[in-house]
Chains A and B, each alone.
Chain A
């Protein structure tokens, strides 16, 4: 255990806490931007600190490919490599390998003047084979078969050096039904033991287990109890944010948060939309991650209290209002929608400014006041967060 988790305030099931990690003392609930390849697209570490980012998520799969975990280790770990003084979390690498068509990375040269490319990578699902040993897949670099075992995943994450590392789980999408879900849940528990055994730095890095079990409350319950028995520093609720309907989604979160220990952090993986974060926080979750704010910025969409604002739209061309008049970020204080409109999807700067705003919105959001419209929505949904809503 290399963390301390102290609940400082409660609002029914929701809690505000301090999560003290080796590199940073964080306030929860918190949102973690995804810095896939050792950087949040287009933003410097200074800017991230400025807008209040506490933990960044790094993708083990990508970093293991380039620049490799050995190189990162040799250069002193990912914190030093990217010069990020605060906390880092790495995922197990499993998700990218089995992620389905919804996770496409774009490849192509945008403009010859730019010379930077996003990478379009077709789903590896049909190439992935999950066995008890681990996940076998075809390397995107040279086509060779590669095997990611729980041991290997932990070793890679040990080398990368993040404050929180994730156990390799057997994740299935919630849209799948049948015996596969049960198989995956039990395998996840067996793999957790292998991860614990392989973990070489338990006093510097916190290994979180991931609750699986699809949408089946019985399976979820078994998994939660199994993980709690292992007495891990923290727990994640996985296998969600993959296309299931929202009514099923919140019920799984509610069940898990009710059963997971009070005094340990709970991380809902892949969430998400601001409203989802509010709901999950009301139900007692503490940590979230999602590519959504930065990805949607690159397509010209800004996050605003009312929902989203599509800056690409022709209606924006002469709109002299800021993106969000209530937002205090550098972008909203200085720029009009009209100006951002002429930048988005055409210039690197547009992507940067929108990413900045969207992350600011997400990072300030859980900390700040809960907007009134959300309180009203929660009311209707039967979830009481009246004490979260300031007067």
Chain B
């Protein structure tokens, strides 16, 4: 992996370029990592993925926990059973008393290795994968159950405890382009003692992970510290002296407020070398992304698109930075707040126009709001597929405007204007109701 900063704006926001071995083109930063489930987008099938703008859409987020299958040691020994995902109700096979694992979790690391790794397994050879244990959609850190042996996550299979050894076994077999070390993330309300422990533990696990680091694949050192400025600083400084290729900033999107976030972010980025890329998890909303960019973060993974999609929402906020703010905007009963529309709203039943008039995504080029409204009404999967395509396309456009603003040296104004225009619409809506 190669990374270089190309432009700075307002001091900290930076536009850069990252090059990964598997991707034919370099990817500009700040950039969005597309969310995946088991390596593929949640709804967009691989042949439709290519309809998204490239190379913007070539970086995918991935959690090894999505795919953890029975490892070869587990099937024979019953000791670790209680910590593994057990699907109650699976019949015991061949009369043995060891509960059978819900093997639809995934193929074993050995199998994944024999297939050739993640890229081979999901058939996306020209894409880049960033592996992080935490996934804001379905692998949520469970700090209450995390202990000195491993990090605990709530997953669709139940609560999982993952040790550095196991984590590294998965990373080694999957061969992502870049991966974050295992971290102990705590929510914003964790007490100081717990927070301090999380920093110590994360650094310890970082060293353990690096020690088992496979050849190839860039290591991103994980930085935590909750909502304590001192701990954030301490962790960043510790990780900054480790032999890593980039930094993964954890612990955000876990309860801290919009107001306290910038200083926490700066406490981290101020203590990191400028030349290595910074990745973050948990900053999903546009305003949150802007906070991250302002603090000098380069790579973002977001659950925003997923939640919009399953809610039936489509993004419509203007991407054109020169658009004038319409102060006379009235809130209609249109199920719209000028940033997104809810296509379940009955007002769209006969609307034969695309979601966004001049959007060139597959959905807007081929389908109407009326059709998507119908699909949502009859609970057809195609609705989510079309919405995920549009929302991803639109959000990638947002990131593009961010990059343009940085390159033009006016990121701060861009951020201000964006936040202000959204607040103004909300204020106007409140008044008109």
Contacts and interface: CB of A to CB of B under 8 A. Distances in A.
Interface of A: 37-39, 41-47, 50, 62, 66-67, 71, 74-76, 81-83, 111, 113-119, 312, 314, 317-318, 320, 330, 333-336, 338-339, 341-349, 351-353, 356
Contacts of A46: 48, 362, 366
A338 B104 contact: no
Given A38-B371, A320-B115, A342-B104, A334 B384 contact: no
Contacts of B37: 347, 349
Given A44-B48, A334-B46, A117 B371 contact: no
Contacts of A67: 349, 370, 373-374, 377
A46 to B, nearest CB: 8
B108 interface: yes
B382 A75 contact: no
9 contacts: A46-B362, A66-B378, A75-B370, A113-B137, A320-B111, A320-B114, A334-B123, A335-B122, A341-B107
A342 B106 contact: yes
Given A41-B381, A339-B107, A83 B367 contact: yes
Contact of A338 (B111, B123, B384): B111
Contact of B378 (A62, A81, A349): A62
Nearest to A335: B123
Given A44-B48, A348-B381, A349-B42, A83 B366 contact: yes
B184 to A, nearest CB: 25
Interface in B196-240: none
Given A320-B111, A341-B104, 4 more contacts: A45-B366, A317-B104, A318-B108, A336-B115
B385 interface: yes
A318 B107 contact: yes
Q: Which 8 pairs of residues, A with B, have the shortest CB-CB distance?
A: A334-B123, A338-B107, A317-B103, A318-B111, A342-B106, A42-B381, A37-B378, A67-B374
B278 interface: no
A42 B45 CA distance: 9
Contact of B104 (A41, A47, A76, A312): A312
Contacts of A341: 103-104, 107
Given A113-B156, A317-B107, A342-B105, A75 B350 contact: yes
Interface string B71-114: 00000000000000000000001000000100111111011001
A47 B47 contact: yes
Interface residues of B, number: 55
A21 to B, nearest CB: 22
A349 B43 contact: yes
Contacts, number: 153
Contact of B107 (A37, A119, A342): A342
A187 B409 CA distance: 79
Contacts of B385: 42, 44, 352
A116 B382 CA distance: 10
A342 B43 contact: no
B138 interface: yes
B352 interface: yes
Given A314-B103, A320-B114, A37 B45 contact: no
A118 B374 contact: no
B70 to A, nearest CB: 8
A231 to B, nearest CB: 37
B380 interface: yes
A252 B107 CA distance: 47
A341 B386 CA distance: 25
Contacts of A75: 350, 352, 368, 370
B100 to A, nearest CB: 8
B379 interface: yes
A82 B380 CA distance: 13
A74 B70 CA distance: 55
B40 interface: yes
A225 B311 CA distance: 54
Contact of A343 (B38, B70, B108): B38
B297 interface: no
B67 interface: yes
B17 interface: no
Contacts of A333: 123
Contacts of A117: 379
Given A113-B156, A345-B104, A81 B38 contact: no
Contacts of B45: 47, 349, 352-353, 356
Contacts of A74: 350
Nearest to A343: B38
Contacts of A345: 104
B376 to A, nearest CB: 9
A339 B121 contact: yes
A280 to B, nearest CB: 30
B374 A342 contact: no
B69 interface: yes
Nearest to B103: A317
Contacts of A348: 42-43, 381, 384
A18 B218 CA distance: 57
A363 to B, nearest CB: 16
B371 A82 contact: yes
B375 interface: yes
A111 to B, nearest CB: 7
B382 A81 contact: no
Contacts of B107: 317-318, 320, 336, 338-339, 341-342
B371 A81 contact: yes
B45 to A, nearest CB: 5
Interface in B308-332: 310-311
A39 B380 contact: yes
Nearest to A339: B121
B103 A43 contact: no
Interface in B340-372: 349-350, 352, 362, 366-368, 370-371
Best-buried of A66, A117, A312, A338 by chain B (most CB within 10 Å): A338
Contact of B382 (A39, A334, A343): A39
B183 to A, nearest CB: 24
Contacts of A43: 382
Contacts of A335: 121-123
B104 A66 contact: no
Contacts of A314: 93, 100, 103
